[in-house]
Amino acid sequence: MLAILVLAAAGTVVYVKRTYTVQTVYVEGNVHYTEDEIKAIVMSGPLGDNSLYLSLKYKNKGIEGIPFVDVVDVDILSPDTVKIIVYEKALTGCVRYLDTYIYFDRDGYVVESSGIRTAGVPQIMGLQFDHMVTGEKLPVGDEKIFESILSITQLLQKYKLASDKIYFNKSGATTLYFEQVKVSLGNDSATLEDKLMLLTEILPSLKGKKGTLQMQTYDANSGKYVFKPEG
């Protein structure tokens, strides 16, 4: 009887291993890591290629020790096919501090720090602080600056504008950087959206040029601005 049970258990193990060995993997939701990097992270260990094990391992559970990633889910599409769904931490911007990029959320809380500059997250310049602690708010003088950062980044996303850097001077005036083109927006929040809407039409004509587009003063009638080339 014992021998039969042992054989049955062994047969079950062999069946599960053969049937649920992952052959195809889909990855979605990843921004900071490539598909291959996500696969290597999630499918590590002796049973890393078993779809049943993976779905149970990551069910309703976060993933620790992986910067920028909050939660990972593994869905079984078929016994040999899984979909890895990556839920990344929400990032609004980053600042450069001691040769490290400090990434923060919409309220200014430090999410991660990394020596790698992540594409798609604008670098915020002009903020003054002398220390940082992960999980705590960046100790800048005026915390309302984070509302301004959020407002601008949301509008940039809305109008599909990819600004590399955003600079705030002491008076709150804002400058956007698009490769070699600087866009001076001034500090009038009431006309910010109108300016960015027009910017979607203006930027293509400035591709390959170097200089400053002066949009400090908004003229709803003409919609024209001065571009001062450099070099």
Give 204-219 pLDDT, tens digit per residue. 988 888 999 999 876 6
Say whether pLDDT at 131 is over 70.
yes
13 falls within a domain: no
42 and 99 in a single domain? The answer is no
Compute φ and ψ for 95, nearest 5 degrees: -130, 155
188 and 97 in a single domain? The answer is yes
Average pLDDT, the chain: 84
pTM over 0.85: no
Q: Is 153 exposed, middle or buried (0-12, 13-18, 19+ CB in 10 A)?
A: buried
Q: What local confidence, expressed as pLDDT, does residue 176 receive?
A: 94
6 falls within a domain: no
12 falls within a domain: no
The answer to whether 178 and 209 are in contact (CB under 8 A) is no
Q: How far apart are CA 104 and CA 139, in angstroms?
A: 12
180 and 145 in a single domain? The answer is yes
